[in-house]
Amino acid sequence: MTIETVFLQLTAKALLSILRRIASPLEHVRARHLGHFRSAALADFGHYWVHRLLHTRYLWRTHKWHHSPTYMYWLAGVRGSVIQQTLVNMPYIGAAVFLDIAPWWMFWAILLKNVAQNDFMHLNRWWGNRWLEWIIVTPRYHHIHHSDDPAHYRGNLAALFSIWDHLFGTYVDPEKVGRNLTFGIGETVSPVRLVIGL
In the complex, the residues that contact Zn ion under the rule CB under 5 A are: 77
| Pick from 67, 66, 64, 57: nearest CA to 184 | 67
Distance of closest approach, residue 67 Cβ to Zn ion, in angstroms: 6
Q: Judged by CB, which is closer to Zn ion: 99, or 163?
A: 163
3-state percent helix, strand, coil for the chain, nearest multiple of 5:
65, 0, 35
| Pick from 68, 79, 88: nearest CA to 146 | 68
Other C-beta atoms lying within 10 Å of the C-beta of residue 105:
9
- In the chain, how long is the greatest CA-to-CA distance? 92
Distance of closest approach, residue 14 Cβ to Zn ion, in angstroms: 59
Q: What angle do CA 7, 12, 13 make, to 5 degrees?
A: 100
Q: Judged by CB, which is closer to Zn ion: 77, or 174?
A: 77
Distance of closest approach, residue 38 Cβ to Zn ion, in angstroms: 25
Q: Judged by CB, which is closer to Zn ion: 15, or 115?
A: 115
Which residues touch 90 (CB under 8 Å, ≥6 apart)?
46, 50
Amino acid sitting at position 37: F
Q: Judged by CB, which is closer to Zn ion: 77, or 139?
A: 77
Question: With 0-12 CB in 10 A as exposed, 13-18 as middle and 19+ as buried, what is 181?
Answer: middle
Distance of closest approach, residue 70 Cβ to Zn ion, in angstroms: 13
Of all residues in the shown chain, the one whose CB is closest to Zn ion is 77
Distance of closest approach, residue 186 Cβ to Zn ion, in angstroms: 14
Q: Judged by CB, which is closer to Zn ion: 77, or 128?
A: 77
Q: Judged by CB, which is closer to Zn ion: 11, or 56?
A: 56
| Pick from 29, 40, 4: nearest CA to 113 | 40
Distance of closest approach, residue 178 Cβ to Zn ion, in angstroms: 19
